A and B are shown apart, each in its own frame.
Chain A
Amino acid sequence: DSGVTQTPKHLITATGQRVTLRCSPRSGDLSVYWYQQSLDQGLQFLIQYYNGEERAKGNILERFSAQQFPDLHSELNLSSLELGDSALYFCASSVDSRHYNEQFFGPGTRLTVL
């Protein structure tokens, strides 16, 4: 158990819908990262937050957005869903983002868009 929790574990929805994925980082970790794992694209970095502020952006679509709340949990919002958004979404957390430190991964949320 990494200490990072993600809910829900599975999500099945239809095209055009909007969903919210939730992540609670390890106690004491200030930085949260979101990654997408799909068969065609592999594991890709989406976005990073540090202590409530956006720190870095990767290959995140405009239909996707995220935020980190004062209690440090983070939510990834996916809207106008398409079939190609079906993937495993991982959250990871680390103590700091300014220096190297290990990222701990949650178990993931599997999103299926029908």
Chain B
Amino acid sequence: GNSVTQMEGPVTLSEEAFLTINCTYTATGYPSLFWYVQYPGEGLQLLLKATKADDKGSNKGFEATYRKETTSFHLEKGSVQVSDSAVYFCALSDQDAGGTSYGKLTFGQGTILTVHP
């Protein structure tokens, strides 16, 4: 079956530090990969996505590249801010060779990021 593994957290950084959150996956088909962010007391928001190998997703200074050879989708940001403090989830949605999506998301366990001024 499909699975997503995220680096163990929590992660604590100072403002303007470089961020990496590792994510690896296993999937049976041709997955699309996502990073979602959950701010305290809120639902999940899509941060970025990549739908095929070598695609780079980017948003709000965050980036992640779909690496099929290493089955990875690591999240990076060059300079974090206090407002980036949240829980980050890596997820995948599997699909077959014809592009039909199975819809449901499989999530990693989440990584808590805390950024101090």
Contacts and interface: CB of A to CB of B under 8 A. Distances in A.
Q: Do A and B bind each other?
A: yes
Contacts of B44: 90, 92, 105
A63 B33 CA distance: 32
A98 B106 contact: no
A42 B103 contact: no
**SS of A interface (majority):** strand
A2 to B, nearest CB: 6
A94 B105 CA distance: 12
Contact of A43 (B41, B89, B101): B89
A79 interface: no
Interface residues of B, number: 25
A99 B108 CA distance: 22
Contacts of A106: 43
A69 B105 CA distance: 23
**Candidate in A92, A103, A106, A108 with the most chain B CB atoms within 10 angstroms:** A103
Given A2-B43, A108-B43, A43 B103 contact: no
Nearest to B108: A42
Interface in B74-115: 89, 93, 95, 99-110
A97 B104 CA distance: 9
Contacts of B110: 42-43
Given A56-B102, A99-B100, A42 B107 contact: yes
Nearest to B100: A98
Nearest to B110: A42
Given A97-B103, A100-B51, A107-B42, 11 more contacts: A2-B45, A35-B105, A55-B103, A56-B102, A90-B43, A98-B100, A98-B101, A105-B43, A105-B44, A105-B45, A107-B41
Please give me the 4 A-B residue pairs with the lowest Cβ-Cβ distance, nearest first. Answer: A105-B43, A43-B107, A97-B103, A105-B44
